[in-house]
Amino acid sequence: MKSLPYFCRGEVIRGFGRGSKELGIPTANFPDSVVDNLPADISTGIYYGWACVGNGDVYKMVMSIGWNPYYKNTKKSMETHVIHKFKEDFYGEILSVVLLGYIRSERSYPSLEDLIAAINSDIEEAKAQLELPEHSKLKDDNFFTSTTTSSPVSPSSTVSTSQSIINGH
Ligand code: ADP
Ligand code: MG
C-alpha cells in the first residue's frame, strides 16, 4: 500500500454501541470527514500504528477499517483501539494516528470468543511490529507534537482544517 505510512486526525465520535468496551476492547470512532479522506489503496482490514489523544502520550494502536453496518455497509468506518488503559473516555477529543502496516483482512468469526481471540492476537502482532526500528521511530514524529490546542482547526494558522494536516506534516 503506497499510502502507508498514513497520518490523520479527527474528533472521537460516538460509535454504534456494539459493546466493544464490554469486551475490553473499546474502539474510538472517527467521523465521516476523516473516513472519506482515506486514499483508495488503503483497503479494509486491520492495521497497526501509533495513536495520541489530544496532546497526550503516543501509544501503540490497532485500527479496524471496515464497512459500517449502520450505513448498510455503504460507508467505511475507522475504529481505533489504543493499547493503553485510560482513566476515562475521551469522546470529543482529537485523536491523531499514523497507520503503518496491515495485519489482516476483515472477516467474521463463528463466535464472540473467536472474535476476541483474533483481536487479541492482532494486538500482540501490533505490539511486536511497532518495536521494529522502522516503525518505532514514527512514535516521535512531529505530527504528534504539532497538535496546537484541543481543536484541529486553528483560525490563525495557514493549516486551517484537519484534512489539510493529513500527510502534510
Ligand atoms: P462506541 O460505540 O461509542 O465507539 P466503544 O465501546 O467502542 O463505544 O468505546 C469507545 C470509547 O471508549 C472511545 O470513544 C473512548 O472515548 C473510550 N476509550 C477508553 N479507552 C480506550 C482505548 N484504550 N482505546 C479506544 N477507546 C477508548
Ligand atoms: Mg467503538
Per-residue pLDDT of the chain (169 residues; tens, 9 = 90+): 899 999 999 999 998 777 688 788 999 999 999 999 999 999 999 999 999 999 999 999 999 999 877 677 788 899 999 999 999 999 999 999 999 999 999 888 888 889 899 999 999 999 999 999 999 999 999 999 986 544 454 444 444 444 445 564 4
Nearest to 112 by CA among 17, 15, 23: 23
- Kindly state if the Cβ of 77 falls inside 6 Å of ligand 1: no
Give the model's pLDDT for residue 147: 66
**Relative to the CA of 82, which ligand 1 atom is closest?**
24
Show the cell assigned to 47: 492495521
CA distance 89 to 12: 10
Nearest ligand (C-alpha, residue 16): 1
Sheet holding 45-53, edge to edge: 6-11, 94-104, 45-53, 58-67, 76-82, 28-29
**Rounded to a whole number, what is the largest CA-CA distance in the chain?**
52
Residue closest via CA to ligand 1's atom 17 equals: 89
Between the alpha carbon of residue 5 and those of residues 37, 100, 141, the distances in Å are 14, 5, 11
Nearest ligand (C-alpha, residue 97): 1
Supply the pTM of this predicted model: 0.88
**Relative to the CA of 88, which ligand 1 atom is closest?**
19
Active site residues: 79
- Kindly state if the Cβ of 14 falls inside 6 Å of ligand 1: yes
